[in-house]
Amino acid sequence: MAGNGAATYTLLSSPSPTGSDDRESCELKLPMFSVHLIRSDDNLVSTGAKRSQLKLIIFVVSCILTLSLAFILYFLLGFWKPRWKTLMTHSLCPLTEATVILVEERKKSHPVKVMKITLPKEDISNYIVGKLSQYADHNDVISLIEYKLDRYVFTGSSLERVNGLGDGETFGTLQEMVESDHLALDTLSQIFGRNVLDVPLKPVIHFVLTEVLTFFYFFQLFSCLVWYNNQYEVYATVIIVMSVLSATSTTYITRIAIVKLRKAVLFECEIEVKRSGKIQVIKSGDLVPGDIVKVPLTQTKVGFDGVLLSGNVVVDEAMLTGESVPTLKNPLPFEWLEEKYHADKNEVNTLFSGTTILQTRPPPSGQDDAVYCLVTRTGFRSKKGETVKFMLHPDRTQKFKFYSEAWTYIKIMAFIGLGGMIYHIYDSIKNDYSVNDAVLGSLDLITIIIAPSLPLALSIAVFYAIRRLKQGKINVSLPNSINIAGKVKMTVFDKTGTLTEEGLTLQCVLSATDGHISEELTINVPQQMRLALASCHTLSIIDNKICGDPIDIIGQQTSGFEFRDHGFEANIFKNKVSASSLDPKTGSRLGLIKTVPFESHLKRMSVVCEVSNGSVVVFCKGAPEQIVLHCDQSTIPQEFSSKLDHFSSQGYRILAFASKTLPEECNVSSIPRDELESGLTFLGFLVLANRLKPETRVVMDELKRAGLRTVMCTGDALLTAVCVARDCSMIPDNGTLYLLTAELGDNGKLAVKYTEQEHTPDGFHMEDLKNLYSGPFRKVHLAMDGATFDLISKNDKSLMDKVCVTGTVFARFNPEQKMNLIDELQQRSYSICMCGDGANDCEALRHANVGIALSKCEASLAAPFTSSVFNITCVPVLLKEGQAALENAMAVFRFTAMYSIIQYVSVLLLIHYESILGDYQYLLEDLAIVLLFDFALGYTKPSKILSRVRPRGSLMHPFTVFSFIMQTTLVVGFIVFSMWLVQQQAWYDPFHVIRVDYLAEGELYVPYFETTVNFIHSCFQYIIIALVFSIGHPHRRPLYTNIPMLVSIVLTAGILLLVLFISAEKIPLLEMANIPDISYKLLMLGLVVMNLLLSLGVEYSYRVIEPLQRFLKLLRFKKGHKNKFKCLIDELEAADTKWPSTNIVENGI
């Protein structure tokens, strides 16, 4: 790769969700010595570097000559500019020679040390080592790096992630790994590291330095030095103490969060493995991919990802999914050698790290009755490891305008402060001060215009919100997401367990007899249907209790059979069976020979059983539209479609059952699944009622009143989902629903069809049409399944735009499709709150802007927010807290900014009169008033009603800028006017010299009346601004509900009234002139009242005066909407043609 100029490399695409090995080749012009590193969806440029002896010598000499200043700079660059630090002692080089690699991500470099691993020739026979050996150099050495807990191997043209075994490998390859005797343990241990989720815990000093080596802490240090120089020791000391406490608190909170996560995920135990044909006991941390583990019996955590080789295992996956439902795992069917393994696709054959083993079922018979598992992924490459990595290093950081604009404000204030400094220097020199004194005195202005308490304003509101959410049983793992919740525009819900009850109730069993579907409900169920209900499940008996999927439990109970699990007499059956069921009425038995597990993309499962007469029967159940495809069509009753539509349209959950008898003496294990599940005889339907949770409709109405778009994304049937959407008013009674279907024609074009679903709600009359949404587009709702969504997303982006702004029901979606839906919606500028039970929503929950998992497991890693209240009432609670937290943060920030402006203007005016505020006057302003209001403003609770209007969240919004300019104008105007007014009084004496007892002999204090008036009126203005920015509507509760704020206002106003009316001699610490005229004091109080009324008038003006609002919005010079979805809505409403066209096939590209 060494060479001059640019080099061309082949970019390796990140693995596809299905784990295919496809490679996307593209030409990239990269700087010399640079390649791309593939991590999730990011292409990260990496550059090689090696130590330079010349640079090292220069650096050492520089440290000596500068008395270690060069070393201090080197140390600080490690936090600010890691690339610069590295290049102080290293030079760029080809990656093959590199000892350090600089990974560029989000405009920042991350130096990573290169690990060199020699591959022994005898280890290359190992499958994993053999694959990696293709990247070795002529000395059989491979180069790896570890970046954000992922390991990458240098392939020559890229850095490719090292995962282990699994995705993309054929079953035959995995079988070869099982049969192989050579594990290459030492080499694999070096490549993959230890099998522990050892979250890096850096030293305390690192956390402290990371916190304090920032602009604000350096600025606070600079400010304190200036204040100490100006003999303002008390406030400087207070700020130092507060900064130390703040840094300590932040460091403690950050470190304790990592410590808690570390304790939650760190796991290591003794485990039995089979190596070289012998059972050994080792630490689970010493496992490597390719190890064969003897699965422990019960109540043991799984510390790796692995493929089940024999027997069955019942696990609890609540830690990963949030759903505490026992799940049965089955051995991988190795007879299908060419089939490719993918962990997500073959999840029923995979044990995942972080899950808990509830029960193991050894194989029916054989020489070894243990359950074995092939380790595929370890450490942070496992399922749980990926989740932990996401929490520590999210793939995408959500940008928030408020934080970036805060820095813009600081730059503007610094520029204004610079102007004040120049004026101060000029004025001081003009009054015969030395240049040194003038410059030192001017530095005080920059410490005033940029308040050291600004970091507090950015965090205090979130702190209060987290505390309130925890009281509401909502746990927060990503605090920054709270403010983002205030900007949510759409909510996406799972159905089962989220909108509807987790448990189901039996509605009826409809059996197929003589070509018709019987009308019986749960009585007189034919024997074959009873056998199907009794056997077609994955239930287990744990602690003498039947456990498993609620649907399976209902079916088994309906059958009337007694489930015996594996507690039976094996000699009753001719075949090897793993479980049995007994009919207490007839004494007949049913033995389970084989389970073909449910797969989400197939939407069905099967079992092979031996019945009492010795025949072997296949029973299959699943989604009706899938089961019918695998049945002998002559066995499908005429009423199949009408019954299915009837019950689906009423919101019932429907499962279809079918069966067939296998020939005698057939080898069940060798029959492929497609053959096993073909030519079935249709048996009937199991109809289940899935009722809405009582809170669902109430919450939906609240969200709709708040103008939030609501969407359902579920794995259930389309018509069932549509019915639930109508029941919960997600689709209003006056809305028009179109079922969207799509298929790819032979010509490669997409054929799309819209079918209007008729719906006449109870009590709906023609006069209700006047209540329809404005505009024809507003009442259009689309419903589709996952297959249609996939076809549209791949073939018609224009139609996908329409789907994203009109789609309401997305049914039969698997976890990957749910995640893709979230991504598509976010590309149209939707800020999304996703709520699900965590069962198959984990990826979607983590991809959403705000993800809420309904889980009673507090330690669930399913989403940034976890609600232990198992209904969707948590959604409006979180959104209201988000809106209030954002408004509170804005209020505290604006108050702090105005405090800086007020004090800055006051000081500049006093400089003009050759005066300055006293130390205790500063202390009263800075500590007793400002910090008190900072905490009180952030305490305001959220409004009880979720607002239709989203918080602005922008410091540069015209309304915010207008308020800031007008309030500043009033502040300056009233301070200047009050100082001018005092000069017009008859008793005014510009040189009223008095003796102050606490001053040393010979010292005098000149308390200017201007200083006194300036100080008193400024303090009152702080209260006024706090009152103005306490306006709560519509996102926060009224001022009178904020008790800390009321106490602060009464307390500070009382103190200031006391200061105003009491004799100045009685409070000498404040160094004020004694105003002799009570009428003037009353006049000052009148000015304060007038200032308050005008400030409130300004704040309310842009909130209620529509012409002013329209004028201010024009100042944004915005062409069209900034949100893409609003532009798409406008385009649809402005279109001349009617869309969608009912029952007409549209062809797209």
Contacts of 333 (CB under 8 A, 6+ apart): 171, 339, 349, 669, 673
Q: Which of 267, 287, 289, 301 is nearest to 377 (CA)?
A: 289
Sign of the dihedral through C-alpha 726, 731, 734, 737? negative
Q: Kindly state the tokens that stand for 51.
A: 């130590």
Contacts of 118 (CB under 8 A, 6+ apart): 139, 140, 141
DSSP 3-state percent helix, strand, coil across the chain (nearest 5): 45, 20, 35
Integer angstrom CA distances of residue 266 from 196, 197, 306, 393, 431: 6, 5, 18, 18, 68
Integer angstrom CA distances of residue 349 from 15, 172, 327, 543, 625: 21, 15, 11, 24, 25
Neighbours of 308 (CB within 10 A): 22
Residue 971: Cβ-neighbour burial (10 angstroms; 0-12, 13-18, 19+): buried
Contacts of 535 (CB under 8 A, 6+ apart): 581, 590, 592, 607, 609, 619
Would you say 929 and 896 are in contact if contact means Cβ atoms under 8 Å apart? Answer: no
Would you say 913 and 1006 are in contact if contact means Cβ atoms under 8 Å apart? Answer: no
What size, in residues, is the chain?
Answer: 1149
- Strand 305-308 versus strand 350-351 pairing type: antiparallel
Q: How far apart are CA 548 and CA 554, in angstroms?
A: 10
Q: How far apart are CA 1063 and CA 1016, in angstroms?
A: 14
Neighbours of 152 (CB within 10 A): 23
- 803-826 as b/e, with b when 16 or more CB fall inside 10 Å? bbbbbbbbbbbbbbbbbbbbebbb
* Sheet of 490-493, strand order: 474-476, 865-867, 850-854, 832-836, 490-493, 709-713, 807-811, 780-785, 736-744, 750-757, 1146-1148
Q: Kindly state the tokens that stand for 1033.
A: 């509507």
Q: How far apart are CA 969 and CA 989, in angstroms?
A: 28
SS3 sequence, 916-927? Answer: CCCHHHHHHHHH
* Residue appearing with tokens 């406030």: 235
Angle at alpha carbon of residue 33, lines to 32 and 38, rounded to 5°: 115
Would you say 254 and 207 are in contact if contact means Cβ atoms under 8 Å apart? Answer: yes
Q: How far apart are CA 24 and CA 13, in angstroms?
A: 6
DSSP secondary structure code for residue 749 in this structure: P
Over the Cα atoms of the chain, what is R_g? 36
Q: How far apart are CA 824 and CA 1129, in angstroms?
A: 16
C-alpha dihedral, 17 to 22 to 26 to 32, nearest 10°: 90
Annotated active-site residue 494? The verdict is yes
Q: How far apart are CA 769 and CA 919, in angstroms?
A: 70
- 494, 552, 727, 837: the active-site residue: 494
Integer angstrom CA distances of residue 140 from 127, 136, 143, 182: 16, 5, 10, 18
Q: How far apart are CA 844 and CA 839, in angstroms?
A: 11
Catalytic residues, by residue number, are 494
